[in-house]
Amino acid sequence: MVLSGHMTKNMVATRCLTVMMQVLLKQQYFLLFFFFFVRFVSLCLALVQLQHKAITLTRDEIQTAVSHTDLDKMWQRDLKPLLVTRYPSSEGSQAVQNHIKATIGSLGAGWEVTEDKFRAQTPYGPLPFTNLIATLNPSAKRRLVLACHFDSKYYPPQWHGREFLGATDSAVPCAMLLELARALDEELKAQKNSSSKLTLQLIFFDGEEALFHWGPNDSLYGSRHLAQKMASTPHPAGATDTNQLHGIDLFVLLDLLGAPSPHFGNQFASTTTWLSKLQNIEKRLHSMNHLLDHPSSVQYFWPDRSVGIIEDDHLPFLRRGVRVLHLIPSPFPSVWHTFHDDEQNLDRSAIQNLNKIFQVFVLEYLNTRPVVPSDTSSTSEPLTQEAP
Ligand SMILES: *[C@@H]1O[C@H](CO)[C@@H](O)[C@H](O)[C@H]1NC(C)=O
Ligand SMILES: *[C@@H]1O[C@H](CO)[C@@H](O)[C@H](O)[C@H]1NC(C)=O
Ligand SMILES: [Zn+2]
C-alpha cells in the first residue's frame, strides 16, 4: 500500500516536472521560469538552515571554552562604560557607540563593523539613530545573529537628579556580546579562517525604547529600520534571489538580563530545538560544576513552558519570516524601568552562568571546537606515563 502510493506519487511528480519543463522552456515563459528558480534558491537556503545540526563539545572542550570567560574583565572593560545615560542623540549614546566599535575593532578575529545611521520622526521631533552591526565573515552565506539594544530609556527632566542606567535593560546583554567576542576570539578567528558558509553577526540596536509612550510609531526605531534595510540588501553580494534576512539562520535577542534567577519560557515553536539546546548546555555545565548559585540542573531554560509574545526588537524580523529565539526572562526583573535598574542590583552569578552557557551555545552552533591544551586533556584522564 505505502510503497505503491509512493510509486504513484513519484510517477506523477516526474510527469509533472516533464510537462513543467516543456512549458517553461518556451521563450514566453522565461519570466515564469526565472520566478521558479528564484523561489527554488531561497527555498534551498531555508532548508539548509532548518536542517542545521549543532555539535556537542566534549567535557575537555567545554572546560577550555569556559576558562576564557572572565566576569571581572567584562565588568570593567565592557559593562562599566555602558552604564551611562545613553538615549538616542545623547552624549552617552555616542560614547557607548565609540566603546562598542573600539572594543570589537581591537579583537584578533577581524570583525567588520558597519553603522546603520538614519533619522526618524519621534514625539520630540526628528532624532538621529545608529545601529551597529559587527560581522565576523561578511561573505559567508549564513549567519547566526546575536542582538541587544544599547540605548537606555529616556526620562524627561522632571526626574531631575535621577539617572536611569538600564543595567539589565540592556547594558548587561550588550556587555555579554562584547565579552563573548573577546572570550572566544581565538575560536572565532579559526572559525572565520575555516571558510565555513556560516558566520556570527552581532547587532547592537539603537532606539528600542519608546521615547514617550510605547506604540508602533514610538519604539523599536533601530530594529524597524535595520530589518527593512536588510530585506532590501542582496546577500551574498550580487545575489538576485536572496537578501540579508534570508541569510539569518537564527536571530537570538538578549534583553533584560542580569537580575537573579532568570526564567526563559518558550515563545516560538519554530525555535524550540534551540531553547532545548540551551537547556541541555545548562544541564551539562551544571553537572561539571561550572555554574554558581545554581542548585538544580535546570533553573533557566524552559522549552516546555510556553509564554506569550513579548514586543521587542525581534518583531520587525519575525514579521519578515526570520526564526527568532527571544532570551528575555518571564517575569521581567523586578527593577524593570525603575531607577533601581543599576549596577548594585545585578546578580554576578547569573551573569557569569549565562555568559558560559551562551558561549558554549555559539561554539556548538558554529560547529567550532576550542583547541584543548595538551596538558589539560592529560590531567583529566589518568594516562600511563610513557618511558622517555
Ligand atoms: C587558516 O587556514 C590555513 C589553511 O586553511 C591554515 O594554514 C592556517 O594555519 C589557518 N590559520 C589560523 C589562524 O587558523
Ligand atoms: C503611525 O504612523 C502612521 C503613519 O504616519 C499612521 O498612519 C498611524 O496612525 C500611526 N499609528 C499610531 C498608533 O499612532
Ligand atoms: Zn526597557
Ligand showing the shortest atom-to-Cα distance for residue 194: 1
Render pLDDT for 53-99 as a digit per residue (tens, 0 to 9): 999 999 999 999 999 999 999 999 999 999 999 999 999 999 999 99
Ligand showing the shortest atom-to-Cα distance for residue 218: 2
Q: Which residues pair with 121 in a beta bridge?
A: 126
* Amino acid 35: pLDDT: 65
Pairwise pLDDT comparison (157 vs 207), residue with the higher score: 207
Can you tell me which atom of ligand 1 is nearest the CA of 195?
5
193 within ligand 1 shell (Cβ under 6 A): yes
CA of 189 to the centre of ligand 1 (A): 9
For residue 243 the three cell numbers come to 537578501
Ligand showing the shortest atom-to-Cα distance for residue 210: 3
- Mean pLDDT along residues 373-386: 50
**CA-to-CA distance for 351 and 143, rounded, in angstroms?**
25
pLDDT band with cut points at 50, 70 and 90 for residue 210: very high
**CA-to-CA distance for 65 and 37, rounded, in angstroms?**
42
pLDDT at 323 exceeding the cut of 50: yes
Helix (H, G, I), strand (E, B) or coil at 144: strand
* Amino acid 162: pLDDT: 83
Render pLDDT for 145-155 as a digit per residue (tens, 0 to 9): 999 999 999 99
| Among the listed residues 249, 296, 345, the one whose alpha carbon sits nearest the alpha carbon of residue 50 | 249
* Percent of the chain with pLDDT strictly greater than 70: 86
Render pLDDT for 2-27 as a digit per residue (tens, 0 to 9): 333 333 444 444 555 565 566 556 65
Q: What are all long-range contacts of 21-27, with beta carbons under 8 Å and residues at least 24 apart?
A: none
| Among the listed residues 348, 347, 352, 315, the one whose alpha carbon sits nearest the alpha carbon of residue 334 | 347
- Mean pLDDT along residues 306-325: 97
The string of DSSP letters for 248-311 reads: EEEEEEE-S-SSSS--EEE--GGGHHHHHHHHHHHHHHHHTT--SS--SS-SSEEEEEE-----
Render pLDDT for 87-137 as a digit per residue (tens, 0 to 9): 999 999 999 999 999 999 999 999 999 999 999 999 999 999 999 999 999
pLDDT at 49 exceeding the cut of 50: yes
CA of 193 to the centre of ligand 1 (A): 6
| Among the listed residues 144, 140, 270, 130, the one whose alpha carbon sits nearest the alpha carbon of residue 204 | 130
Which of the residue ranges 293-297, 355-359, 377-381 would you say has the lowest mean pLDDT? 377-381
* Amino acid 42: pLDDT: 78
Helix (H, G, I), strand (E, B) or coil at 378: helix
* Amino acid 2: pLDDT: 35
Hey, which of 193, 194, 195, 196 would you mutate to test ligand 1's pocket, going by the most ligand atoms within 8 Å of its Cβ?
193
Annotated domain spans of the chain: 52-366
* Amino acid 378: pLDDT: 44
* Atom 12, ligand 1: residue with shortest CA distance: 190
Strands 198-205 and 125-135: antiparallel
* Amino acid 358: pLDDT: 98
**CA-to-CA distance for 328 and 262, rounded, in angstroms?**
8
Q: Please count the CA atoms within 13 angstroms of the CA of 237 that sit on its side-chain side.
A: 4
Catalytic residues: 208, 255
Pairwise pLDDT comparison (36 vs 52), residue with the higher score: 52
pLDDT at 34 exceeding the cut of 50: yes
213 within ligand 2 shell (Cβ under 6 A): no
Strands 112-122 and 142-149: unpaired
Which of the residue ranges 261-270, 275-284, 368-377 would you say has the lowest mean pLDDT? 368-377
121 within ligand 2 shell (Cβ under 6 A): no
Q: Which residues contact 127 (CB under 8 A, 6 or more apart)?
A: 88, 89, 119, 120, 207, 211
Render pLDDT for 38-47 as a digit per residue (tens, 0 to 9): 677 778 888 8
Q: Which residues contact 220 (CB under 8 A, 6 or more apart)?
A: 207, 208, 311, 312, 313, 315, 316
189 within ligand 1 shell (Cβ under 6 A): yes
pLDDT band with cut points at 50, 70 and 90 for residue 380: very low
**CA-to-CA distance for 296 and 352, rounded, in angstroms?**
17
pLDDT band with cut points at 50, 70 and 90 for residue 200: very high
Superfamily of structural domain 52-366: Zn peptidases (3.40.630.10)
Q: Which residues contact 189 (CB under 8 A, 6 or more apart)?
A: 108, 109, 110
pTM of the predicted structure, to 2 decimals: 0.88
**CA-to-CA distance for 337 and 329, rounded, in angstroms?**
14
pLDDT at 386 exceeding the cut of 50: no
